[in-house]
Amino acid sequence: MKNFKGRVAVITGGAAGIGRAMAERFARAGMKIVLADVEAAALNRTAREMRRAGHEVLAVRTDVTKARSLGVLAKKTLAEYGAVHVLCNNAGVYPPDRFSPVWEAPLEDWRWALDVNLYGVVHGIRTFMPIMLKSGEPCHVVNTASLAGMLSGSGSPVYGATKHAVVRLSEAMYASLRELKSKVDVSVLCPGVVQTGIFESERNRPGKLRGIGAPAKYKDLGSIPMQNAMSPADVAEQVFNAIRARQFYVITTTGYDDALRDRMHWILKRQNPQFPDIRTMYKRNSKAV
Ligand SMILES: NC(=O)c1ccc[n+]([C@@H]2O[C@H](COP(=O)([O-])OP(=O)(O)OC[C@H]3O[C@@H](n4cnc5c(N)ncnc54)[C@H](O)[C@@H]3O)[C@@H](O)[C@H]2O)c1
């Protein structure tokens, strides 16, 4: 996509963090914005602030875990703006699974994280791809995964598994779209640590999937400090440039390149992996944000 003025961008998880930053970047390029988020108060506040800044914004309360909700989002988008050119499947949650071994992760965490992080993207593409393909216009889908979707080890196993799935699904989209010589492009966004509310995801957990939290014995391992983290605006700038350049992998930092290389090396050598232990890993993450 080269022309943005007057085009339409739909952004899930658009009320805050990376989603909001993408909305603001696209709006500055003249796009009409559809913000979709489950958190009504934040959604309305962001929409109000963006309109005050002179942007054209539609806010639609959306729960990406429900296919029906995405259907309503598409209907309202088409009724208001008549088209969709950019879709960011960005809504995501981070269950408190950083330190527990994967077999101890509660089923509620698996369901919640898979529902939002994986099924959210599945519902997004199943709803919007037919609309974008039929339009015959240049369009672009951005699926938010994470560097956690390319790396591995004992930490954040539930979150990591959902994000690995998003990378795989996005690669399949890319391959199919090229085979079809389609005008629709796709990128997979893989940030390191970004200054957002992701570690307070519990605010959006549905009651029926109330978590029991990380077992106390793992809680002394510390947390990832946010002060060195990348700003959402920097991530959004990279996404915008990737759309223009038709770049598929949007890996926002080179800070994890050694870890990516190590993993590929072990795979290619058929060698058992030597993942860093969890303390080393989180120390590394604090430096390589
Ligand atoms: N912040 C980071 O360090 C980081 C790193 C890599 C990837 N990511 C990914 O970036 C994406 C955006 O997260 P963020 O960091 O901006 O965090 P955030 O918490 O600031 O934003 C996430 C947004 O998703 C919304 N959301 C949650 N559940 C939803 C649902 N069921 N339906 C619709 N919306 C829902 C939240 O209300 C929130 O506005 C996520 O997919 C996250 O996994 C974040």
Give the pLDDT confidence of 225-240 residue by residue, as tens digits: 677 799 999 999 999 9
**Confidence class for position 220, pLDDT limits 50, 70, 90:** very low
- Nearest Cα neighbor of 230 from 243, 239, 242 is 239
Averaged confidence pLDDT in the chain: 93
- Mean pLDDT on 197-211: 88
- Mean pLDDT on 174-186: 98
Q: With 50 as the cut, is the pLDDT of residue 181 above it?
A: yes
Residue 283 phi, psi dihedral angles, 5° rounding: -65, -45
Domain boundaries, the chain: 8-287
- Mean pLDDT on 122-139: 98
Using the structure block, give the residue that is written with the tokens 């958190």: 39
> In residues, how long is the chain?
289
Distance 198 CA to ligand 1 centre (A): 6
Q: In the structure, which protein residues have their CB atom closer than 6 angstroms to any atom of ligand 1?
A: 12-13, 15-19, 37-39, 42, 62-65, 90-93, 116, 144, 146, 191, 193-194, 196-198, 201, 204
pTM of the model: 0.96
- Amino acid symbol at 155: G
- Beta strands 139-144 and 184-190, pairing class: parallel
Q: With 70 as the cut, is the pLDDT of residue 217 above it?
A: no
Would you state the pLDDT for residue 99? Answer: 76
CATH 3.40.50.720 holds for 8-287: yes
Residue pLDDT, tens place only, 72-83: 999 999 999 999
Would you state the pLDDT for residue 287? Answer: 66
Angstrom distance (rounded) from CA 50 to CA 46: 6
Q: With 60 as the cut, is the pLDDT of residue 169 above it?
A: yes
The residues assigned a catalytic role are 159
Burial environment of residue 98 by CB neighbours within 10 A (0 to 12, 13 to 18, 19 or more): buried
Atom of ligand 1 lying closest to residue 148 CA: 6
Q: With 70 as the cut, is the pLDDT of residue 212 above it?
A: no
